[in-house]
Structure 1
Amino acid sequence: MINMVYTDEQGNLYDHPSLAACGRSGDQFLPLESSQVIPLPEGSSLVSLPERVAAGWDRRRGLRFVDQAVTERGCGRVYPVGVLLPQGFTRFLLPGFRRPSSTTAAAAGTGTRAGTSTTASMAPLPLYGYTAVGMRHDRLVVAALQTDEHHKWNPRFFNTPDLKERVSARLADDPDNRILRQLAKCSLDYSCFTAQNIFYQRWEGGLPVSPACNAACLGCISLQESECCPSPQGRIAFQPNLDEAVRVATTHLSSFSCDDDPIISFGQGCEGEPSLEADLIAQIIAQTRKAVSRGVFNINTNGGYTDGIAKIAAAGLNSARFSIISAAPTDFCSYYRPKGYQLDNVARSID
C-alpha cells in the first residue's frame, strides 16, 4: 500500500498507518496506484498545504479526511502535503484535500467527487505545480513520470553557495543595468533558474523585456487580477533600453564558461508577452550579432502578435516555444483570455 502522508504544525512529516495516499484529478479523489508513482525525484520540494484537510483512502470504506492525528506532541492538527517537482517531470494527480468546513460524503469505490459547502474559506495557495505524494516501503513516491531529460535543470546545479557572490560581482561590473537588478531579484528571491544562469554564465539565460501582455492567463505567475491568488513572482515594472539588454546578451553568449549552445531567452516568468517588444528584441539580436555569432536566441511566446513574431524571426531568431494549452478555440480562450488575438493568430505565427 502507498500510505497517506501529512504534516503537523511544526512541519514534521508522518505517514498514516492505515489510510492509503489519495490524489485529485479535477473534482475526483483517486487513490495513488503503484503503476502511476515514481520515487521522489532529486531536487523536489515538499510543501505543507495549510488550512486544508488531508484526504486519504480506506480500501473498504473509500474516501476519508484527516485533520487530527497523533504527532510527536500528541494528538493535534495536521495538514496535507504536496510536492513541487523539478523540471522534466509530468504530474498525474494533484494533492488530495478539501476545505476545512466542507461536508464531503465518503463513498466506497474510486472516483469519489469532492463536495464543498458555501461557507468554506481558506487562504489561496501560490501558483505552483503541486503534486500528490505518498509513502511506500519507507520511501516517498509521487504521482508523476519523467518525460524529459532534465540534466541542465537539475536543482543541484542551482542555488549554490557561491550564487550571492556571483550576483554581487556581476552587479558591481554593471551597476546601472536594470535588467541585471531584476535578474538578481529573480535569482535570489524566486530561485529562477534561467535568471541564475545569467550569473553562472552558462546554458539558457533569461532576458526579460516586456512589462505588458496581450493575455490574462488564468495561471499567470507574474500578475493576477486583484491578486486573487498570490503570484509566485513579480513582473518587471520598466521597459529596458537597448544598451542594457545588449550588454546582458553579449556577455552571456560570449562567456568562456558557456557550452556550445548558450541561449538568450525572451519570455520569462517575470514578464508579459515578449513579442509586444518586437522592435526592441529585433534590435537586441542585431546589435548582439555584431559582437558574437555563437549561441541561440529563443523566445517563449503565446504567439498572438503575429506581426511581432515575424519581425523578430526576420532579425535572426533561432528558436521559439509557443504556449498552447488547447487546440480547441473555446478552451484556448477560456484559459488565455486573449486581448486582440485568437487561436488563428497563433497558428499563423507558427507558420
Structure 2
Amino acid sequence: MTGARPSTVPALVFATSSGEILDYDGLSMAGSAAGRISAPAPNDLIELPPGSELFALPARLPIGIEPESGEPALLDTNPYQPGESIQAVAAFMAPAHTAILSAAYRTDDAGAPLLPLFAYTAVGWADGKFWAAGFRSDSDCRQDADQFNQRLLNQRTRKQLNCHKNNRLIQHLGKCCLTYGCPAARNYFLGRWEAPLPCSPSCNAACVGCISLQPSGCCPSTQDRIVFVPTEKEIAEVAVPHLEVAPRPVVSFGQGCEGEPLLQAGLIENSIRLIRSRTDRGTINLNTNGSLPDAVERLAQAGLDSIRISLNSAQPEHHRLYYRPKGFDLAAVCRSITAMKRHGRHVSLNYFILPGCTDDPAECAALSELIAEYRPDFIQLRNLNMDPEYYLRIIGHRGDVPPLGIRNWLGQLQGKFPDLKFGYYNPPLR
C-alpha cells in the first residue's frame, strides 16, 4: 500500500437512503479545507488503510468536482435513482494516519444532527478501491489492524481478568478492550508496547470534543468514563509487569476513558515512585491538558519520563473556546512544558489536525512562536475527532486567508525546527 497512487482520478462516492455506498464517475472526488473545496492532488491520496471505517453523513449532500470545468458541484439526488435522497460519505482513517482534506459536503441547516466524535476525511473510488486524502504519519505498527488476533485477544484478556478479579483497574481495562476495542487496552492484554493507566473520574475542562463525557442531547461520547480512583497498588499491578516484559514498553496515565489525570497528581506521584522502586525499565508517560504546572513539576521530580499535552490551537482564545477550562489557560499549559523541560524530560504536543484550520497562516504563526519559545520535542499529528463545521463555529474560525495546505504546513515546521520530531504515538524513550 505504501506509495500507491490511483491510475485515474477517483470518483465521488455517496450513500443511498438505505446506507449503500456507491461511486459516481460523473463527478470526481473533492475535499474540504475548512469549507474551501478542491480536488486532492494525486500525491495526497492513499489507499484507505485497513482498519478504517466509512461513514454516511446524515442531512449532508456530497460535493464533487466537475471533470470538465474543475469546479465544485453538488450532487443532490441519486444519479441511478433520480429523486432518491442521498448522503455524503467520509472516511475515519485507521490510527497512524493524518488527514490532508476533510470530506466535502453541504449541510442541511434545518435538520442536520451533530456528527459523532470521529474524524471525517475525504474519500473517493478508483481502481476498485477507496482512496483517502491523507498520509501515514507514523511507521509504528502498534495499532495496525493486522496486529490484532481477536481470538487470542479474547483468551488473554479473560485469563487476566480471572487472575485479577480484585483489581478494579484491570477489570476496567477489560471492558475497554472487549467492549470498546480500545487499542491501548488491547495491547496491554497482549503484553506489548503502550499500556493505559486511567485514574481520574473528574476533569477541570469541558472540552467540546470530549470523547468520554458529553451533555445530554449532544452527540454521544464514544466510551464510558472511569467511575473510581484506583489505588497505587492497582496501578502498579498493571504497570510493573508490563514495563518488565513488553517490547518497547510505555505506560500512560491519561486516557480517553477518564477526565484530567493531573487532578490525581498525588496518586500519580506515589504510583511513579512505587513503579520505579520495582523496575527502571520502560517509559512512564502522562497524557494531559497540561493545566496544573505545579503538579507537573512534582511529577517530573518523581520520575515521570514524558508528557503529552493535548492542544487544539496555539492561539489563546481558540484554546479557551474549545477546552472551556476551569481555572487555567494556555499560559499555564506552556508553564507545564517549561516544568518538564527544566528536568530534561520529553514533551510531546498532541496537536489536533483539521485541514484548513490547523494550516491557517495565523494558527501556523502562533504554533511556530510556541515551539520557538518552549521547545517541545515531538508533535503528534492527531486528527480532530468532532463535527468539523461545529468546531469551526465554536472557535470562531474566519478563514479569510487561504490555508497553507497540510503538507506545506508540515514542511514549513520541519524546515524551521529541524530537531522537532513528528509522528502519531507516544515514543518509547528507554
2:96–2:140 contact (8 Å) kept in structure 1? yes
Give the aligned residue type for 1:184.
G
1:312 maps to which residue?
A: 299
- If the length of structure 2 is used for normalisation, what is the TM-score? 0.72
Gaps of 5+ in 1: 103-115
Quote the Cα distance in structure 1 between the aligned partners of 2:19 and 2:152: 28
SS in structure 1 opposite 2:142?
Answer: helix
The answer to whether 1:296 aligns with 2:283 is yes
Quote the Cα distance in structure 2 between the aligned partners of 1:242 and 1:189: 25
2:181 maps to which residue?
A: 191
Give the aligned residue type for 1:329.
P
Task: Say if 1:132 and 1:159 are closer, same or farther in 2 by CA, change over 3 A.
Answer: farther
| Deviations 1:130-154 (CA, angstroms, capped at 9, x unpaired) | 2110012333211112222232221
| Deviations 1:103-124 (CA, angstroms, capped at 9, x unpaired) | xxxxxxxxxxxxx4xxx11333
Quote the Cα distance in structure 1 between the aligned partners of 2:11 and 2:287: 39
Task: Map 1:200-349 onto structure 2 (within 5 A).
Answer: 200-255=190-245, 258-259=246-247, 261-349=248-336
SS in structure 2 opposite 1:334?
Answer: helix
State the shift of 1:187 in Å. 1.2
1:65 maps to which residue?
A: 75
Q: Which moved more, 1:9-18 or 1:244-253?
A: 9-18
Give the aligned residue type for 2:73.
L
2:24 maps to which residue?
A: 16
Task: Map 1:111-122 onto structure 2 (within 5 A).
Answer: 116=109, 120-122=110-112
State the shift of 1:203 in Å. 0.4
Which of 138, 157, 164 does residue 148 from structure 1 map onto? 138
1:111 maps to which residue?
A: none
Percent identity, please: 38
1:2–1:34 contact (8 Å) kept in structure 2? no
SS in structure 2 opposite 1:47?
Answer: strand
Task: Map 1:90-109 onto structure 2 (within 5 A).
Answer: 90-99=98-107, 102=108
Quote the Cα distance in structure 1 between the aligned partners of 2:290 and 2:77: 45
Give the aligned residue type for 1:331.
H
Quote the Cα distance in structure 1 between the aligned partners of 2:154 and 2:135: 33
The answer to whether 1:36 aligns with 2:44 is yes
Quote the Cα distance in structure 2 between the aligned partners of 1:341 and 1:94: 31
Quote the Cα distance in structure 1 between the aligned partners of 2:150 and 2:239: 23
- Note the aligned Cα RMSD (angstroms): 2.0
State the shift of 1:227 in Å. 4.7
2:406 maps to which residue?
A: none
State the shift of 1:75 in Å. 7.7
Q: Which moved more, 1:57-66 or 1:268-277?
A: 57-66
| Deviations 1:299-321 (CA, angstroms, capped at 9, x unpaired) | 11111111111111111111111
1:4–1:16 contact (8 Å) kept in structure 2? yes
Quote the Cα distance in structure 2 between the aligned partners of 1:50 and 1:58: 23
State the shift of 1:207 in Å. 0.7
2:30–2:72 contact (8 Å) kept in structure 1? no
Which of 160, 175, 180 does residue 150 from structure 2 map onto? 160
Quote the Cα distance in structure 2 between the aligned partners of 1:163 and 1:69: 44
State the shift of 1:31 in Å. 3.0
State the shift of 1:17 in Å. 2.4
Task: Say if 1:63 and 1:159 are closer, same or farther in 2 by CA, change over 3 A.
Answer: farther
- If the length of structure 1 is used for normalisation, what is the TM-score? 0.87
Q: Which moved more, 1:121-130 or 1:301-310?
A: 121-130
1:2–1:32 contact (8 Å) kept in structure 2? no
1:56–1:64 contact (8 Å) kept in structure 2? yes
Quote the Cα distance in structure 2 between the aligned partners of 1:136 and 1:34: 12
SS in structure 2 opposite 1:90?
Answer: strand
1:39–1:140 contact (8 Å) kept in structure 2? yes
1:216–1:338 contact (8 Å) kept in structure 2? yes
Quote the Cα distance in structure 2 between the aligned partners of 1:306 and 1:227: 34
Gaps of 5+ in 2: 1-8, 339-430
1:107 maps to which residue?
A: none
